[in-house]
Amino acid sequence: MKILSIDTSCDETAVAITEGRRILSNELFSQIETHRQWGGVVPNLAKRAHEERIDEVIERALKNANMTIEQINAIGVTYGPGLAVALGVGINKAKELALKHDKKLIAVNHMEGHIYSCFAQDNHGLPDFEFNFPYLVLLVSGGHTELILFKDHITYEILGQKLDDAAGEALDKGARLILKNDVYPGGPIIETMSSDGSASAFQFPRPMAHSNDLNFSFSGLKTSLLYAIRNMSDKERTERQNDLAASYQEAVFDSLLIKVRKAIVQTGVSQVVVGGGVAANGTLREKISRLVNNKQSSVYFPAKSLYGDNAAMIGIAAYYKAQKNLFVVDYGKLDRIPRASLSFIETF
């Protein structure tokens, strides 16, 4: 089954062609440069850029898969979570293609895409390990921080989630505080600064470390960073920015790891899957690998090209939805759900 998928949930116009878990093409138009000057994603600019680029990205995806739309069996599309006006562009285009070319439609949750990104295969079907449920999933992106029990295909139980800022958001805001500048996105900047800093230079708290639940909170940590910086001159802050970044990043990641460790103990599940944009961070991947990797357990990350937002992950999730006959029944009802949750399956 060949699926053309579209994701316009945030600031990337993404289109892919997949067959099962195999990626045949995976194309992107990134809007980062458009938003960078504003220090974050501007919804109306995102909408306009998606509208301007989507046809061209679809064409590129088909061309690179060496295919025409007639050879496609179904259209997958992200319905949420994400920016409402941005999601709308992809949904409208998916409906238009499905109606015009008489294709089935599959609506996918962006976060389930991030989960399935860890199981993607290249054009040759590699890596070729089989699914072996259950998995414990850590999702860490700009808007989400969640621990999920991935029980079977398209079957999830949320074990814990953010109570305030998401991990990626904490890093983005941290970078702005440390640099006193509206940089965006901050996660990669924090990672670069951290590589030249000391993670033990500043003592930041590990929020929620002692709570028995599996939820996350980062707003207190952000306040501690603010307090540490408040008493510094600009010169001192600049001189110590790498230490600040490394210590702050360490506190964010320790907070994640404490809960991953707790979740492994509570569920007895030690196969860990890590998805979302923050999984691009080498230090986080190293820390989780150290925590999990041993003879009895394993850790799965997305391939490098799939850390961030992309449509291939949506296509793979769409395939497993199709296997369960979860096609959109009423195209008129399919609508964006900006705050969609993985804890229930939408019915359109």
- Output the smallest distance, CB 142 to Zn ion, in A: 7
Q: Does 10 contact ligand KG4 by CB under 6 A?
A: yes
Contacting residue, 88, 276, 302, 315, with ligand KG4 by CB under 6 A: 276
Q: Give me the least distance between CB of 249 and ligand KG4, in Å please.
A: 8
SS (H, E, C) the chain: CEEEEEECCCCEEEEEEEECCEEEEEEEEECHHHHHCCCCCCHHHHHHHHHHHHHHHHHHHHHHCCCCHHHCCEEEEEEECCCHHHHHHHHHHHHHHHHHHCCEEEEEEHHHHHHHHHHCECCCCCCCCCCCCCEEEEEECCCCEEEEEEEECCEEEEEEEECCCCHHHHHHHHHHHHHCCCCCCHHHHHHHHHCCCCCCCCCCCCCCCCCCCCCECCHHHHHHHHHHHHCCCHHHHHHCHHHHHHHHHHHHHHHHHHHHHHHHHHHCCCEEEEECHHHHCHHHHHHHHHHHCECCEEEECCCHHHCCCCCHHHHHHHHHHHHCCCCCCCCCCCCCCCCCCCCCCCCC
- Closer by beta carbon to ligand KG4, 27 or else 172: 172
**Binding region for ligand KG4 (CB under 6 A) out of 29-37, 97-105, 201-209, 272-280:** 272-280
11/243 with CB nearer Zn ion: 11
In the shown chain, the binding pattern of residues 140 to 159 toward Zn ion, with x for contact by CB under 5 A and - for none, equals -x------------------
Q: Residue 278, interface with ligand KG4 (CB under 6 A)?
A: yes
Shortest Cβ 169–Zn ion spacing (Å): 12
User: Which range in 22-30, 145-153, 215-223, 270-278 contacts ligand KG4 by CB under 6 A?
Assistant: 270-278
Q: Which residues lie closer than 8 Å to 73 by C-beta, 6 or more apart? A: 1, 2, 3, 103, 104
In angstroms, what is the minimal distance from the CB of 210 to ligand KG4? 25
Residue 87 in the binding site for ligand KG4 (CB under 6 A) = no
Nearest approach in angstroms of CB 225 to Zn ion is 24
Interface characters, 137-156, with ligand KG4 (x: CB under 6 A): ----xxx-------------
CB of 11 to ligand KG4, least distance (A): 8
d(CA 214, CA 231): 33
Total residues interacting with ligand KG4, rule: CB under 6 A: 20
Residues in 281-320 at the binding interface with Zn ion, rule: CB under 5 A: 309
13 contacts ligand KG4 (rule: CB under 6 A): no
Binder of ligand KG4 out of 186, 197, 207, 315 (CB under 6 A): 186
Within residues 302-321, the interface with ligand KG4 by CB under 6 A covers 308-309
Q: What are phi and psi of 16, to 5 degrees?
A: -140, 160
Site for ligand KG4 contains 187 (CB under 6 A): yes
Residues that bind ligand KG4 (CB under 6 A): 10, 141-143, 168-169, 171-172, 185-188, 191, 276-278, 280-281, 308-309
